[in-house]
Structure 1
Amino acid sequence: MSRPAKVGVTGSAGFIGSHLCDRLLAEGREVVGIDDFSHGSPSNMSTFAAHPNFTFAELDCRDALRVRRTFAGCDALVHLAAEKIPRYGGALKTLQANVAGAESLYEAALALDAQVVVASTSDVYGNATPPFAEDDALTLGPPTTRRWAYATSKLYDEHVALAMAAEQGLRVKILRFFGSYGPRNNPSWWGGPQAAFFEILLDGKLMDIHGDGRQVRTFTFVTDTVDGVVRTLDTPEAEGEVINIGGDEPTTIFRLAHEAQAALGLSGPLRARMVPYEQIGGRYQDVRCRIPDTTKAFELLGFRAEVSLSDGLAVTAAWHRERREQIAAAGLGVASVA
């Protein structure tokens, strides 16, 4: 089977989606992107919007009929559009949008006889014992805690995809991402702790470290995440598989805060404050340790993350500064972190 020549990407104006489009177009492939700009930005597509091999449609991925028509002729689809962890509210929106969006893409892939790569999340492991392997038991928290709505929606998407593969012939590959970060990330908590830390520090304020800061996370620079997606697209043996895509440099949130401050060249004591979980609301629960077992990704895809955390944070910090300089030059205000 040859590598996909024409790829449809949902969330093409988003963080990972825009970097994926850059990569696919650089490889000479055709790309069809869709986004409703609910979280993505047209500026993220500035490097490729005018590319002769790129076409774009502004639409909601839940609009199944338009999605199928827009992706006509694609031999592969990558589903990245999604709502994320409802930190301050929006659990119902997260559940409904993620389930409906995925089912829309699965139906399109079946109708077009296209393979579909689905972005899932490390959050589905919940409080399982790390390092997380793809066949490990999953340990989600209770439905009375809204932060688990995201994991539940993504786990449901996985189950539906695999059931449709078994019963209807859906050609699906499922990727569980671990902490992707880098340039173009949403400059708020939506974009993860790095984005929030950089923006807060550049505002001259204190970073919020939730809980005790000893939570362990494994972060993945966006070019590595994209490399995992492309390798999956081009590996027929990945069909029907669930695969972790993540880095191999676990770090505590407390250390991440130190690294973010250093990446901005800010000296002195750590500019942070500790925020108890009780102040977040919604019976918030956190995951203490999130580390992937990437054996399967290496053996099946030849994937291994290449960018170190310090190098990735340096590039990301520079992007945050440049973003603010561009906004200032345009005479616009910088939105505060929510």
Structure 2
Amino acid sequence: MKKILITGAAGFLGSHLSDRFINEGFKVIGMDNFITGDIKNIAHLLEHPNFHFIEHDVTEFVKIDGELDYILHFASPASPIDYLKIPIQTLKVGSLGTHNLLGLAKAKQARILIASTSEVYGDPLVHPQTEDYYGNVNTIGPRGVYDEAKRFQESITMAYHRFHGLETRIVRIFNTYGPRMRLNDGRVIPAFMGQALRGEDLTVFGDGLQTRSFCYVDDQVEGIFRLLFSDYSYPVNIGNPHEITIKDFAEEIIKLTGTNQKLVYKDLPVDDPMQRQPDISLAKKLLDWEPKTHRAEGMKITFNYFKGLSKEELYKSEHKDFTKHIKI
């Protein structure tokens, strides 16, 4: 039985990846320190004989006993509300955390896949974004703590690949959604759905003409799974190329939820990208992968998940208390 370590296992994507690898017959070691993850996301796995959970911060030395075949590094804040509140920890998990896990992969002779992001492209001057585009990123802006953490993460991963011959994979993840997203984490889909369920007007930043491309979580997990077992070491975009403006998307949410809210416009945050659309030609060619879930279908599943949350969860503040989990 192959063994895989998944960091950020109690997070949105990490928990779905844990499910997938359990179902594929792997022994899964989940690791998380619950800065942004939630134990309820993996509660159904805690008694599974092939799942073992370790509460640990990967910015500290990571020790795993015995053999290890694969590592998926998904430990990182991913929403602006989170990484703007804990900027130093965000930089540390992308740098020190990645260094620790690359060292572990080298020691165990394990293949490692690093979760990067479309944010490495910044506010892109090329559209759609291809893997050979270097990006347009403000290194000293507030979003730079996340963007540069991920860009460094890619650089050190390729350094280990070239210098040590380590088997590495890099996935550039575009906007992904589905069950287990934190309702009030500031990302557009849970933000809109939370506002609709609470009967609030939907907040659109800027003029709403900025675009996003949303990939359902099952499709994202499939792309990551195929990339891990490919022979390609350079970054690969995994996302849904179907682009929509935020204004049109807000109208879709109002229609989906059957509510009657208005759109309220606020100033656009600093360095918020105006366009985001993946070119997935490389993923199609290398992995024979493209998303299968239509947005209407995926959004209905996601809305039903949020609709099933308790009133306490629905009205819980988006400002999670991080202080008990971290050392700056």
Return the TM-score normalized by structure 1. 0.89
Q: Is the 8 A contact 1:196 1:337 kept in 2?
A: no
Answering whether residue 259 of structure 2 is matched by residue 259 of structure 1, we say no
3-state secondary structure, aligned to 2:93: helix
Q: Shift of residue 333 of structure 1?
A: 7.4
Match for residue 41 of structure 2? 44
- Provide the rounded CA distance (Å) in 2 between the counterparts of 1:92 and 1:218: 28
3-state secondary structure, aligned to 2:241: coil
Q: Is the 8 A contact 1:178 1:220 kept in 2?
A: yes
Deviations 1:252-291 (A, max 9, x none): 111121122222222x4x53200013xx5xxx12111111
Match for residue 294 of structure 1? 280
Answering whether residue 4 of structure 2 is matched by residue 13 of structure 1, we say no
One of 133, 136, 140 as aligned partner of 1:136: 133
Q: Is the 8 A contact 1:86 1:146 kept in 2?
A: no
Q: Shift of residue 98 of structure 1?
A: 2.0
One of 200, 203, 207 as aligned partner of 2:202: 207
Q: Shift of residue 142 of structure 1?
A: 4.7
Q: Shift of residue 334 of structure 1?
A: 3.4
One of 161, 177, 200 as aligned partner of 2:173: 177
Match for residue 104 of structure 1? 100
Match for residue 275 of structure 1? 266
Q: Structure 1's 86 and 336: CA in aligned 2 closer, same or farther, altered over 3 A?
A: closer
Alignment of 1:1-338 (within 5 A): 5-64=2-61, 67-69=62-64, 72-84=66-78, 86-87=80-81, 88-126=84-122, 127-143=124-140, 145-190=141-186, 192-235=187-230, 237-238=231-232, 240-266=233-259, 268=260, 270-277=261-268, 280=269, 284-324=270-310, 334-338=315-319
3-state secondary structure, aligned to 1:274: strand
Amino acid corresponding to residue 70 of structure 2 in structure 1: A
Q: Shift of residue 247 of structure 1?
A: 0.6
Amino acid corresponding to residue 273 of structure 1 in structure 2: V
Amino acid corresponding to residue 28 of structure 1 in structure 2: G
Q: Shift of residue 232 of structure 1?
A: 1.3
Q: Is the 8 A contact 2:129 2:279 kept in 1?
A: yes
Match for residue 323 of structure 2? none
Q: Shift of residue 47 of structure 1?
A: 2.6
Cα-Cα RMSD: 1.8
Amino acid corresponding to residue 264 of structure 2 in structure 1: R
3-state secondary structure, aligned to 1:47: helix
Deviations 1:9-55 (A, max 9, x none): 00111100111111111111111100111111111012322111111
3-state secondary structure, aligned to 1:208: strand
Q: Structure 1's 336 and 261: CA in aligned 2 closer, same or farther, altered over 3 A?
A: farther
- Provide the rounded CA distance (Å) in 1 between the counterparts of 2:220 and 2:159: 26
Amino acid corresponding to residue 125 of structure 1 in structure 2: Y
Q: Is the 8 A contact 1:178 1:219 kept in 2?
A: yes
3-state secondary structure, aligned to 2:36: coil
Q: Is the 8 A contact 2:139 2:148 kept in 1?
A: no
Q: Calculate percent identity across the aligned residue pairs.
A: 31
Q: Is the 8 A contact 1:44 1:184 kept in 2?
A: yes
- Provide the rounded CA distance (Å) in 2 between the counterparts of 1:25 and 1:85: 27
Q: Shift of residue 297 of structure 1?
A: 0.6
Q: Is the 8 A contact 2:194 2:314 kept in 1?
A: no
Q: Structure 1's 213 and 194: CA in aligned 2 closer, same or farther, altered over 3 A?
A: same
Q: Is the 8 A contact 1:86 1:149 kept in 2?
A: no
Runs of 4+ displaced beyond 6 Å: none
Amino acid corresponding to residue 215 of structure 2 in structure 1: T
Q: Is the 8 A contact 1:175 1:243 kept in 2?
A: yes
Amino acid corresponding to residue 135 of structure 2 in structure 1: L
Q: Shift of residue 94 of structure 1?
A: 2.0
Gaps of 5+ in 1: none
Q: Shift of residue 62 of structure 1?
A: 1.5
Deviations 1:141-160 (A, max 9, x none): 251x2112211110011011
